[in-house]
Structure 1
Amino acid sequence: MTNAAKTVLITGSEGFTGKYMAAEMRSAGYHVVGLGTKSSTAVDYYQADLLSIAEITAVLNQVQPDIVIHLAAIAFVGHGDANAFYQVNLQGTRNLLAALAALDKTPEAVLLASSANVYGNTSEGVLSESTLPAPANEYAVSKLAMEYMARLWQDRLPIIITRPFNYTGVGQTENFLLPKIVAHFHRQESKIELGNLDVWRDFSDVRSVVNAYRRLIEAKAFGHTVNVCSGNVYSLREIVAMIEEMSGHHIDIRVNPAFVRAGEVKTLCGDASLLHSLIGNWQTPPLKETLCWMLEAK
């Protein structure tokens, strides 16, 4: 069967990652169908609530997907309603897996996006998939719970779980740190309020992340939980300096104590060895390139 004959269902297709994921799969020749909770004029798009197994089942019966990429989630850690994390990220995913397992035609691949947030703030340095999870907020707990729940379905469904570290790109909302910094520079504001500047984090480009997801599916990496990360770290101080250099605009940084997290780990870097062993050579552009793309797109 050629890619063109294969139908990919992407949940959360109208979200930040979902739009890039859809573009990635289309460029590889797949037929893409989207699913989300909001109405959309997008072609081949279905509106359904993951908390309604009847709605999901109706869509799946109609679409009969060959591949499912599950991106729909409440992803903003500062989201106000803790219950929503569990309802959407855990119960919604369980409903999807139950509905998929009940189909006459079993999909050939189901990719579930988790998060490197599951590692928490206790392990410094390079984090591999064998690092003990220690989730430090409700979002991370909901994602780790989702991972454990999904394992109960691995004998019935070909599941791949990804743990992406920080990633960014054009279209990510200003709730997230790098788009917030880029937007301040684009507006040529005189000052910005940030938290701890001397923390180092692993950032990837959204376009590389969705490429890794597609290649994990095509590599049939079933049963694996896989870090998706660059293996390189940058401090916030370095990032601000990088954008200052590119934009030619200086910005005054104010450290807002409210944004400084107690007990924040200085360095979080991902180990991408498993990813490389599964899909071969993969890399994300240098962060400067991604930031330049974001700065120019504003």
Structure 2
Amino acid sequence: MTTVLITGINGFTGCYLAEELRSAGYSLVGLSSTETIQNASSVNYVCNLLDHEKLIDILTEVKPDVVVHLAAVAFVAHGDVEAIYHTNVVGTRNLLDAIIKSQHIPRSVLLASSANIYGNALIEPIDEKASAAPANDYAVSKLSMEYMARLWLDRLPITVVRPFNYTGAGQSLNFLIPKIVDHFKRRAPILELGNLDVVRDFSDVRSVTQCYRLLIESRTQGEVFNVCSGQGHSLLDVLQMMREISGHHPEIKVNPAFVRANEVHRLVGSSAKLDAVIGKVPVIPLKNTLQWMFSHRL
């Protein structure tokens, strides 16, 4: 069996990717910064990405055929800027160096960046040739990670993915869509939001993880791929869908504390390059994803 090491396996994306790969017959090894419960279908290690020596020990022991690097500070408004850069840049560098020092080169190393690196792009849909214009520390950290990873391209089969916004059942309420769905679930009378005029390319996490699996199997290297639906939805669209799903009509208020001065107003991607490599993965309509999230019980 092909062994895949997933960093951040306990995270939102990691859980869904583990299920996607497990269903496809892969053997899984998880890396997490918090305690995990070992089970029959995966072996889990607790290790902070900043612990370079422990990373080397784990990679030397596991000798994975594939590494998928998801672990990151992934919340744009995360308050600890130092943690964003340490985890997303230094932590990734530690991982790549540990792979080399383990003296076992995987056949694929997939690094998760972010479409946030594009900022307020002047073209739409945004393809991989668009100029980077990061508008927050999270985006800068992801772009810095990409540049750092280029130093390893002659030694490791690295593929970088730039996922646009995606969501699904189980995502933290820190994120916008789960927050909105939660308010409708609770039938809260008032919903306070920030910028209402933003447009995003929302995907379903299950589609995103399917794309990751197919990229692993395509054995690409040295390439960057957008992962997106190619469809833009405004926040007002999302609110209307939730009204239709729930039958609830809360009062919508703009809270100035939630308005970001450097907000990226439109972020809609092109998946043409990815489609040419893995084929067209069917897009799950956003309303279907919202219905799944609304009906989901923990």
Tell me if TM exceeds 0.5.
yes
Distance 2:296 2:38 in 1: 22
Match of 1:297 in 2: 296
What TM-score comes out, normalization by structure 2 length? 0.96
Match of 2:162 in 1: 163
1:42 to 10, 25, 38: 38
| Distance apart, 1:283 and its partner CA | 2.7
Q: Note the residue ranges of structure 2 that are not aligned, 5 or more in a row.
A: none
Alignment of 1:197-212 (within 5 A): 197-212=196-211
| Distance apart, 1:282 and its partner CA | 1.2
Match of 2:10 in 1: 14
Alignment of 1:117-156 (within 5 A): 117-123=116-122, 125-156=124-155
Distance 1:195 1:156 in 2: 44
Match of 1:24 in 2: 20
Distance 2:52 2:85 in 1: 16
What TM-score comes out, normalization by structure 1 length? 0.96
| Distance apart, 1:109 and its partner CA | 0.4
Please provide the CA RMSD for this pair: 1.1
| Distance apart, 1:90 and its partner CA | 0.4
The answer on whether the counterparts of 1:169 and 1:205 sit within 8 Å (CA) in structure 2 is yes
The answer on whether the counterparts of 2:49 and 2:92 sit within 8 Å (CA) in structure 1 is yes
Q: How many corresponding residue pairs?
A: 294
Distance 2:83 2:271 in 1: 31
Question: 1:146-177 CA deviation, whole Å, 9 max, x = no partner?
Answer: 00010110110000000000000011011000
Distance 1:276 1:129 in 2: 13
Match of 1:85 in 2: 84
The answer on whether the counterparts of 2:136 and 2:262 sit within 8 Å (CA) in structure 1 is no
Match of 2:215 in 1: 216
Question: 1:241-264 CA deviation, whole Å, 9 max, x = no partner?
Answer: 101111111111001122223364
Distance 1:265 1:17, change over 3 A: closer
The answer on whether the counterparts of 1:124 and 1:267 sit within 8 Å (CA) in structure 2 is no
Q: Note the residue ranges of structure 1 that are not aligned, 5 or more in a row.
A: none
Alignment of 1:155-194 (within 5 A): 155-194=154-193
The answer on whether the counterparts of 1:111 and 1:217 sit within 8 Å (CA) in structure 2 is yes
The answer on whether the counterparts of 2:60 and 2:104 sit within 8 Å (CA) in structure 1 is no
% identical equivalent positions: 55
Question: 1:78-119 CA deviation, whole Å, 9 max, x = no partner?
Answer: 111111111110001001001111222210100000000101
